[in-house]
C-alpha cells in the first residue's frame, strides 16, 4: 500500500523518522510520497528520501506560503527539479504541493495563481505529475489546469467534492486523492461520489499529520491509519479490501512511476 500524500518531514514524524516508518510499514504502508510546501523544506525532504528507500517526494510551493517566496525561487525550483531528476534512481516523483486556497482571505490570490501557473509549466517541462491543493477555489483551479494541462496527470489531493467535480478532474487527467474525510458518515456527498467513481481513478492518502480519520479527532494523523480510508472505500463500493489495495497501489505506482 502507498500513502500518496504524507508530510513525513513534519512533527511528530521528524523526531524519529525510523520509528515512524516502522509503524507505517507494520500497518501495511510500504511507500510514502512526501509533498513539499516551500523552499525551506526541500533539502530536508530530499535527505529523508535518500536515507529511507520507502520514501519519495515532490518539490513545490504550497499556496499558504506563496507570499514567502520571491520570484527568483521559481528559478531555484527549476534548478532543483533538474538536479533531482539527473540523479540515478531519482526519488523525485512529482511537482507540488501547489494549488489555490481562497479559504483564507488574507492570502494573495494573484500571487497564488502566478505560482500555480509556474508549477504547472514545470510539471510539463520535467514530465512529472502534479500534486494539487484546493480550497474554495475549484472553478479557478480547473481553469488554470485547462490552460496548462499537466501531460503526466496528477492528484487532486484531499478530495471532498461532488461527483460532477470529480468527473471534471478525471477528464483533465487527474486522479482523485481520497483521505480521512470519507471516514466520517456526515461526509455524505463525498462518500457517494467515491462509491460511484471507477476504482482506477482513486489513490489513497492520509495528509498526515493533518486530516484525522474518524475516531482519532484531535490527534496527529499517521500514515498507518490509511487502513481506515482503505476499509471505508471497500465498504462504500461493496468490494474486498484486497481489491482496493491492489487497484489503488497500482494506480499510484503508474502515476508516480514508483517501482513496486
pLDDT in tens, 8-32: 999 999 999 999 999 999 999 999 9
What per-residue confidence (pLDDT) applies to 70? 87
Tell me how crowded residue 206 is: count the other CB atoms within 10 A of its CB.
30
What per-residue confidence (pLDDT) applies to 52? 98
CA 40 to chain centre: 19
The residue with cell 512529472 is 128
The domains located in the chain, with CATH, are 2-256 (3.20.20.140)
- pLDDT at 60 exceeding the cut of 90: yes
CA–CA gap between residue 95 and residue 221 (Å, rounded): 23
What per-residue confidence (pLDDT) applies to 260? 83
What per-residue confidence (pLDDT) applies to 50? 96
Are the C-beta atoms of residues 73 and 98 closer than 8 Å to each other? no
Amino acid at each position: 500500500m502507498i500513502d500518496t500524500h504524507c508530510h513525513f518531514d513534519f512533527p511528530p514524524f521528524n523526531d524519529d523518522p525510523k520509528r515512524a516508518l516502522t509503524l507505517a510499514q507494520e500497518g501495511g504502508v510500504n511507500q510514502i510520497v512526501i509533498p513539499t510546501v516551500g523552499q525551506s523544506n526541500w533539502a530536508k525532504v530530499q535527505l529523508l528520501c535518500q536515507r529511507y528507500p520507502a520514501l519519495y517526494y515532490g518539490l513545490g510551493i504550497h499556496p499558504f506560503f506563496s507570499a514567502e517566496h520571491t520570484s527568483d525561487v521559481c528559478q531555484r525550483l527549476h534548478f532543483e527539479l533538474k538536479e533531482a531528476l539527473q540523479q540515478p534512481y531519482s526519488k523525485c516523483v512529482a511537482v507540488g504541493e501547489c494549488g489555490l486556497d481562497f479559504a483564507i482571505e488574507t492570502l494573495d490570490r494573484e500571487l497564488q495563481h502566478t505560482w500555480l501557473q509556474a508549477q504547472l509549466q514545470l510539471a510539463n517541462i520535467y514530465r512529472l505529475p502534479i500534486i494539487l491543493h484546493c480550497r474554495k477555489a475549484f472553478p479557478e483551479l480547473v481553469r488554470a489546469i485547462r490552460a496548462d494541462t499537466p501531460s503526466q496527470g496528477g492528484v487532486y489531493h484531499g478530495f471532498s467534492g461532488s461527483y460532477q467535480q470529480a468527473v471534471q478532474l478525471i477528464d483533465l487527467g487527474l486522479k482523485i486523492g481520497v483521505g480521512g474525510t470519507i471516514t466520517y458518515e456526515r461526509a455524505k456527498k463525498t462518500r457517494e461520489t467515491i462509491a460511484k467513481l471507477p476504482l482506477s481513478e482513486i489513490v489513497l492518502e492520509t495528509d498526515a499529520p493533518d486530516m484525522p480519520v474518524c475516531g482519532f479527532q484531535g490527534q496527529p494523523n499517521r500514515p498507518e491509519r490509511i487502513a481506515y480510508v482503505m476499509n471505508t472505500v471497500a465498504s462504500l463500493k461493496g468490494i474486498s479490501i484486497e481489491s482496493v489495495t491492489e487497484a489503488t497501489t497500482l494506480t499510484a505506482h503508474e502515476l508516480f512511476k514508483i517501482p513496486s
